[in-house]
Amino acid sequence: IKPCAKVPSMIFATFVENAFKHGVTYEHESVIDINVVTTASEIIFNCYNTKPKTPKTQKPGGLGLANVRKRLDLLYGDSYSIEVQDTPENYRVVVKLPLTLNCVG
What percent of the chain shows pLDDT beyond 70? Answer: 84
101: confidence class by pLDDT, cuts 50, 70, 90 = low
Give Cα separations from 85 to 22, 74, 76 (angstroms).
14, 24, 22
Q: What is the mean pLDDT of residues 39-62?
A: 82
pLDDT digits (tens, 9 = 90+) for 64-78: 889 999 999 999 999
What does the pLDDT look like over 3-34, one tens digit per residue?
Answer: 677 788 999 999 999 999 988 888 889 999 99
Question: Any idea of the CA torsion for 70, 103, 98, 12, to the nearest 10 degrees?
Answer: -50
